[in-house]
Structure 1
């Protein structure tokens, strides 16, 4: 049972990331930052959709570390974007 859910998770994440690359490429806005953000959203969605109802397997407990790291990188991207938008007078 756990192996089936693990494969569902892997297949779902790979499908999401391939669809993300295809859509962003078709829209002409494929950047590493945007790909990362949309993939992180997909990771969180797939993680919730494949979550078991009763017992959490050990491999799913380790996903919390990946989520945490992803959120730190996401925060870094957001701060960089905000700093790029703000005029230089704000800092001086």
Structure 2
């Protein structure tokens, strides 16, 4: 059975991602990279806003793995963008 807190967490993440998708579409900047970065920011904010004070449920103990993978992908995106900006022959 899904706990109420976990359901709120998932609903918050889905709402954030849908709102990001709508805003990116409206401003004409929809790309997979921007959507991923905004989704990661939303995920990190929701993790912090919903963190319990005393006891951490089992499902929250697995969140650092998702955070680590998200940050690795974010680092890859940043490095790729930097390499696109640098002129030829610098690296």
Query: Shorter-chain-normalised TM-score: which range?
Result: over 0.9
Tell me how far apart the structure 1 counterparts of residues 8 and 46 of structure 2 sit (CA, whole Å).
9
Tell me how far apart the structure 1 counterparts of residues 35 and 29 of structure 2 sit (CA, whole Å).
9
Tell me how far apart the structure 2 counterparts of residues 61 and 50 of structure 1 sit (CA, whole Å).
13
Runs of 4+ in 1 over 3 A off after TM superposition: none
Gap runs ≥5 in structure 1: none
Tell me how far apart the structure 1 counterparts of residues 54 and 15 of structure 2 sit (CA, whole Å).
26
Match of 1:72? 72
Secondary structure of 1:90's aligned partner: coil
* TM-score scaled by length of structure 1: 0.94
Tell me how far apart the structure 2 counterparts of residues 27 and 61 of structure 1 sit (CA, whole Å).
37
Q: Counterparts in 2 of 1:1-92, with a 5 A limit? A: 3-91=3-91
Deviations 1:27-58 (A, max 9, x none): 00000000000000000001111111110111
Give the paired residue count: 90
* TM-score scaled by length of structure 2: 0.95
Gap runs ≥5 in structure 2: none
